Chains A and B, each alone.
Chain A
Amino acid sequence: MPLRLSLLVVVLASAGCATFDPPKPWEKGELAKPQMRFDANPLTTRVTQHVYESKEGASGGYGIGGGGCGCN
């Protein structure tokens, strides 16, 4: 029974995680700001990435653009 009880507690506690609501597409104004980018300068990142791809013969994994605004 203690095991069942603790299982129930875990399940109920994880249900609490479900109440977190990620920002909706129309609420991403703050996320779309330039200061929310991981990189300081998108052009520099693109050039660096291009050099890296040419040297390593590997590409991908970084995506393109994307400030997280939810735009297509």
Chain B
Amino acid sequence: MPLRRLLLFAALIASTSPALAVEAGEAAPAFALPNAKGETVTLDKLKGQVVYVDFWASWCGPCKRSFPWMNDMQQRYGGKGLSIVAVNVDKKREDADKFLGQTPAQFTIVFDPAGATPSSFAVKGMPSSYLIDGKGNVIVVEQGFHDDRKDAVEDQIRKLLAAR
């Protein structure tokens, strides 16, 4: 009887465990998402580049603060092989468009209203960002947007660009 009870308990635990989050050192889950023009952006096509994948929504305050910084990064390192892909997770497209009207973005914006990509990355908070090297491995996982982390992330970007 104890064994059976134990098995039952284990089954219960297993049924409640959440999806595993993508951590630094793991391969980034592939995605193929449309941009505003309807072209498909895939992580595969960006292989060889340093990619900064950011998950954002119009209703998320820190996301708004992260946009000027991402513009800055794209402008400074875009020519050197950095590609910023910001995945919008708004259910309504007009919410995202309104946000982009107020907060212009000079980097790639793709749209995932169904939430399949944040699901495969198992995003733990908004915003979340993943710095991915040329081989497609996640190097840095950032949760939230913190002013005191900007320099560290920029250093990592520079390091990855140099190692490319």
- To the question of whether A and B form a pair in one complex, the answer is yes
- Considering the complex, which residues of chain B in the window 116-159 have a beta carbon less than 8 Å from any beta carbon of chain A? 118-119, 123-128, 143-146
Partner of A33, one of B59, B126, B144, B145: B59
- Chain B CB within 10 Å — which of A14, A25, A27, A33 has the most? A25
Whether B57 lies near A24 (C-beta < 8 A) is: no
Q: How does the 8 Å CB contact mask read for A18-54 relative to B, with 1 for contact and 0 for none?
A: 1100001111110011000000000000000000000
B-side interface residues, number (CB < 8 Å): 29
Query: Which residues of A are found within 8 Å of B61, using beta-carbon distances?
Result: 69, 71
Whether A26 lies near B123 (C-beta < 8 A) is: yes
In the complex, A15 Cα to B9 Cα: how many Å?
A: 10
Closest chain-B Cβ to A18's Cβ sits at a distance in Å of 4
Query: Which residues of A are found within 8 Å of B63, using beta-carbon distances?
Result: 71
Query: Which residues of B are found within 8 Å of A15, using beta-carbon distances?
Result: 12, 15
Whether B59 lies near A24 (C-beta < 8 A) is: no
B62 beta carbon closer than 8 Å to chain A: yes
Query: Which residues of A are found within 8 Å of B146, using beta-carbon distances?
Result: 72
The total number of A-B Cβ pairs within 8 Å is 60
**Majority-rule SS of A interface residues:** loop
- Considering the complex, which residues of chain B in the window 13-70 have a beta carbon less than 8 Å from any beta carbon of chain A? 15-16, 55, 57-63
In the complex, A69 Cα to B127 Cα: how many Å?
A: 10
- Chain B CB within 10 Å — which of A15, A18, A24, A33 has the most? A24
Which A residue's beta carbon lies closest to that of B16? A18
In the complex, A33 Cα to B92 Cα: how many Å?
A: 14
Closest chain-B Cβ to A8's Cβ sits at a distance in Å of 9
Whether B62 lies near A72 (C-beta < 8 A) is: yes
A1 beta carbon closer than 8 Å to chain B: no
Whether A24 lies near B123 (C-beta < 8 A) is: yes
In the complex, A15 Cα to B123 Cα: how many Å?
A: 25
Query: Which residues of A are found within 8 Å of B90, using beta-carbon distances?
Result: 29
Partner of A25, one of B58, B91, B126, B145: B126
